[in-house]
Amino acid sequence: MMNLGNDESRKRCRFGVFEVDLGREELRKQGLRLKLQEQPLRLLMILLERPGEVVTREELQARLWKKDVFVDFDHSLNKAVNKVRDALGDSADSPRFIETLSRRGYRFIAPVQEIPEADAAAAISPPDLILDTVPNKRSSSVIAAYSSGLGHGEWAARSMSLQCWPVCSSRPR
């Protein structure tokens, strides 16, 4: 079991094609940073502290909202969970990452690996692209350009002209 509670400033963990950097409070998919609001990201980080264990709705309420904040807790929590699921491509009906335990809470069910600090420091980070969790034509172009193997400068020059070459075809030089 992974304990992410100690010295979070340097902790990173990986599950599937996703990686969470707790110090920077970032979610990445295959190295590309995903746009996720603060509260859903905090919810994900809480679940990642204890993978495989139930995190109760009451615990989530206490950790995500201050005592003097009055919100429709059930609606707000459900909305935050749905945003995390959208970002991860997960679903309540057939969960791969977040399991709902009716009226009890949630459990992170995917295997989670802590990334050793040496590996995290040695990793070559890709261009710092931020992708919306809801794809659009522009983000699809960025993904296609990035996955086609274009170098940093080459990608930047071509993205400025708003041209994108299909990944499968040969691209002009």
pTM score of the predicted model = 0.66
Provide the percentage of residues in the chain whose pLDDT is more than 70. Answer: 60
- pLDDT interval class at 129 (50, 70, 90): low
pLDDT (0 to 100) of residue 159: 40
pLDDT (0 to 100) of residue 1: 43
Mean pLDDT along residues 44-51: 95
Domains of the chain (ranges; CATH) run 8-114 (1.10.10.10), 135-173 (no CATH)
Query: Would you say residue 88 has pLDDT above 70?
Result: yes
Mean pLDDT along residues 148-173: 42
pLDDT (0 to 100) of residue 168: 42
pLDDT in tens, 1-47: 444 444 554 589 999 999 999 889 999 999 999 999 999 999 999 99
The residue ranking higher by pLDDT, 165 or 136, is 136
pLDDT (0 to 100) of residue 10: 56
Secondary structure (H, E, C), the chain:
CCCCCCCHHHCEEEECCEEEECCCCEEEECCEEECCCHHHHHHHHHHHHCCCCEEEHHHHHHHHCCCCCCCCHHHHHHHHHHHHHHHHCCCCCCCCCEEEECCCEEEECCCCEECCHHHHHHCCCCCCCEECCCCCHHHHHHHHHHHCCCCHHHHHHHHHCCCCCCCCCCCCC
- pLDDT interval class at 98 (50, 70, 90): very high
pLDDT (0 to 100) of residue 72: 77
Mean pLDDT along residues 142-151: 48
